[in-house]
Structure 1
């Protein structure tokens, strides 16, 4: 597979308000895990009248640390990248404390599927922003301007936020320095994801700050490696289908030979996302709707 230059940094201090740029501070929630890496990084944008991105999970220790970091300041906007339980639950309590509104793209377009095998922290199924933002919409405060970029793929309602003054992007779970992102149908969509990766790449940001883990340096090159990884996976699938029709579990067993079999159910959802994309692009066909049990084959040429 294509090599992605992952960065891993595990020496974090929970509850500490860390200054990471002139306009940005971060408080990391104490919720490390396989889906959250070292925990949820909550971003505070500006000084005095500030915006907060992804306030994080319900946790009294984390909430107290965030309150301490915001002492003497007023939160004017609470932004959420998407509706997972490690990102959005604290958004409304924080907004209510400061008389602010919660901003996001809206509810997910379809219900999630796959449960725990999706390798997610879980869905905040009741999430609904006070204000549904639009792609390209801009928000500002003293010394900061944020542009919302609707980036479906990981979820249908995923949003990244670009800080104009520093040419950086808060990338949520769309791009992370430590891992690839989970794309799990039906709410996750590989075609959307690849398109939005290319869009982020072409914006030429100086740095990406994901909600989990360290910053992505050299974003254009890093995101291209993300894209190459996904396209290589699709090439592997096509090569296996050249020998005849397959179902998703058969492809997982053939492609993920060096991966713990306990992770194969999650891998199946990733392969399914690729299969849906290959069907949509005309490279592959199946008799019924694409699913984990459908039989897929290469589409005859000519």
Structure 2
């Protein structure tokens, strides 16, 4: 990971700068990355958590230049809440992903207190797959990539063949897929959608830029298929509860990440159940006969 300091803008290429939010954690790595797009009128992608200092850092990085749009990849609380203060300060519209249709029921009781859902998110414009927002010298085109969340969008910058991958593809870790809003089948299909593209570089919500995205996405799909195979092998040995599967599958990881691993295994099991390959009785899962 290149050296980053919260609140200090870093130019990545002529049209792209980033700012690190001060919210490092086991689930956010060094923190959420906010991106500034453009040179005259700008877009801000994912203004981060509700944090007055980070909002002020974004405003300072704008340096008086007009803000054309506040663009949101998804509504986890480490990505979207900062949009409201930024809109109040600049008048810029909030555009991008839709609010969660499930409302409060989407909270999954999972481990990420930093990334529960932003139920106050209220966009001025929702971008459907393929729709764009643009300014002088830049275009951001929405790519619907559900899985990490049901409303997740990536954004392509065709002028430089860059992709802002949010939390769907990150530069340091695989994404958490936590039901009921997270969906493993959707997540893998969204990875396959990105695999079919020819983007030059990914700028993720957490971690370093990904300069060989095709290779990384191919590996991520393979990793998920490998996990699926592990689960099926364990269930064919004997019916099991999820914690027992995690203990066998995630040897050596930080114990603080076990709850997240359990959510990921649950997401795989739900997908396998839909496909007729596994089933459950209470807390016990088994392979289909």
TM-score normalised by the chain length of structure 2: 0.93
Q: Which runs of 4+ in 1 moved over 6 A?
A: none
Q: In the alignment, is the contact (CA less than 8 A) between 1:10 and 1:38 conserved in 2?
A: no
Q: Deviations over 1:7-60 (max 9, x none)?
A: xx1521222221111111112122222122112211111122111100112222
Q: In the alignment, is the contact (CA less than 8 A) between 2:108 and 2:181 conserved in 1?
A: no
Tell me the equivalent position of 1:290. none
Q: How many residues align?
A: 287
Larger deviation: 126-135 or 222-231?
126-135
Higher relative contact order structure (alpha carbons within 8 Å, sequence separation ≥ 6): 1
Correspondence 1:101 to 2:96: no
Larger deviation: 203-212 or 253-262?
253-262
Q: Which runs of structure 2 are paired with 1:161-200 in the superposition (5 Å)?
A: 161-200=155-194
Alpha-carbon distance between aligned partners in 2 of 1:102 and 1:125, rounded to the nearest angstrom: 15
Tell me the equivalent position of 1:128. 122
Tell me the equivalent position of 2:249. 255
Q: Deviations over 1:115-169 (max 9, x none)?
A: 3524753322221212121111022111001110111111111111000101110
Tell me the equivalent position of 2:287. 298
Tell me the equivalent position of 2:21. 29
Tell me the equivalent position of 2:34. 42
CA RMSD of aligned residues (A): 1.7
Tell me the equivalent position of 2:232. 238
Q: In the alignment, is the contact (CA less than 8 A) between 1:191 and 1:277 conserved in 2?
A: yes
Q: Which runs of structure 2 are paired with 1:214-233 in the superposition (5 Å)?
A: 214-233=208-227
Shift of 1:241: 1.1
Q: Deviations over 1:56-96 (max 9, x none)?
A: 12222222211111122111111111111211111122123
Distance change in 2, residues 1:204/1:275 (3 Å): same
Shift of 1:262: 4.5
Tell me the equivalent position of 2:195. 201
Q: In the alignment, is the contact (CA less than 8 A) between 2:146 and 2:190 conserved in 1?
A: yes
Distance change in 2, residues 1:119/1:181 (3 Å): farther
Alpha-carbon distance between aligned partners in 2 of 1:139 and 1:163, rounded to the nearest angstrom: 10
Gaps in structure 2 of 5+ consecutive residues: none
The correspondence for 2:59, drawn from 63, 67, 75, is: 67
Tell me the equivalent position of 2:145. 151
Q: In the alignment, is the contact (CA less than 8 A) between 2:41 and 2:67 conserved in 1?
A: yes
Alpha-carbon distance between aligned partners in 2 of 1:262 and 1:36, rounded to the nearest angstrom: 13
